Amino acid sequence: MPDWFNAAAPAVGIVVGFVTAQFGGSLEHRRQRAASVLQRREEFELTHLVEVNTLLRAYVDAMYAYTSVVYDARDSRRSEAPMVGRVPGGAKEALDAASAALLAEIGLILDAGIRDEMTGMRNFVNSVAETVEAMDDDPMFDLLEENLERTYALVAERVRGIYAGRR
């Protein structure tokens, strides 16, 4: 081998080794960063799924409390007139506050399907409350329970999916 080659080979080897180490380190850094971003996204999503599930339960509880107040007020007045705008005791305000809290949290859900389901469920609960106010004979409570079960199952499935991905 020529003398220049014998003299340059170690230097070339050092440069190639340095470039390889830098490239490998860069790949490892990118992999760790992607894993960190995924973990933060999953934690964010889990937090908001649990919160929206809790707020939906609170909203439905407020709707049932509101329904009870409406029925009690009707019975005490022995009135057949709709209760729209005449519900005593702050039940309407509590229902509206629970609805607003749920709506705010729905906007933070990352999964479009769950976000749409929660929006639909909130609207359905609103319509049940309106049928109670209007003295509708069928306030759709059975359908409400069916829809709630479906919505809770969808959220639970997504939460399980996120945790299953962490294995």
Cα 131 to Cα 96: distance, rounded to the nearest angstrom: 15
Q: What is the pLDDT of residues 3-52, one digit of tens each?
A: 766 777 777 777 777 667 667 777 777 888 888 888 888 899 999 999 99
Give the pTM: 0.71
| Contact call for residues 39 and 89 (beta carbons, < 8 A) | no
Tens digits of residue pLDDT in 133-160 = 776 666 688 888 999 999 999 999 999 9
Instruction: Give the integer Cα–Cα distance in Å for 61 and 58.
Output: 5
Tell me what the pLDDT averaged over the chain comes to: 82
Residue 104 has pLDDT above 90, yes or no: yes
First to last CA, the chain: 54
